[in-house]
Amino acid sequence: MAKRRLDLLLVIDVEATCWSGPIPDGQRNEIIEIGLTTLDIGTGERLDRHGIPVRPTHSTVSAFCTELTTLTQADVAAGHTFADACALLRDEFRAHERVWASWGEYDRQQFERQCAAEAVPYPFGTRHLNAKTLYSLAHGLDHELGMAGALAHAGLPLHGTHHRGVDDAWNIAALLGGVLRASRQDRARAE
């Protein structure tokens, strides 16, 4: 059994092939970018950021997808295979040993679907944190906000391009870092 580590949180945001209408025959949603930011649990500070391009094999990047994400078919054609990207998450980032977070459940579900469809080992452990729900609960909101709305709520700028995995992971990590720091301050005041 892998050692469970609580020193770092992996913040993940994926971009996947998408279309403005129905999925074209013979294609399916596939991850084309894995954005990853490492967050120090003790300080709430973002340590690094990575954009891992992933080459789709059962779909192509549509014009709609490029407009949304800025990623083109040429950008992802030289990317990792999905299996290699998952191995990278396990080997380099120890994703199976760490808690990981994403904004909502889509990213977790997309990994589960694609791993099952391609018979690729799931790269993460069982500890997934829904950052969207956590943020809303931590701030006493009666509804969940989208990432851009949460950044506005927190008074934080949106860095980079919205709907780019590397940038969205960085922004989500800023929101989670704020929640962690506030929690530490609350505990310190209570002591």
Per-residue pLDDT tens digits for 15-52: 999 999 999 999 999 999 999 999 999 999 999 999 99
CATH architecture, domain 7-190? 2-Layer Sandwich (3.30)
Record the pTM.
0.94
Ranges of residues in the chain with a pLDDT under 50 are: 1
For residue 187, the model assigns a pLDDT of: 72
For residue 1, the model assigns a pLDDT of: 47
Can you give the residue ranges of every domain in the chain?
A: 7-190
Cβ count near 43 (within 10 Å): 12
> Where are any strands of DSSP class E within the chain?
5-16, 31-40, 46-53, 98-102, 128-130
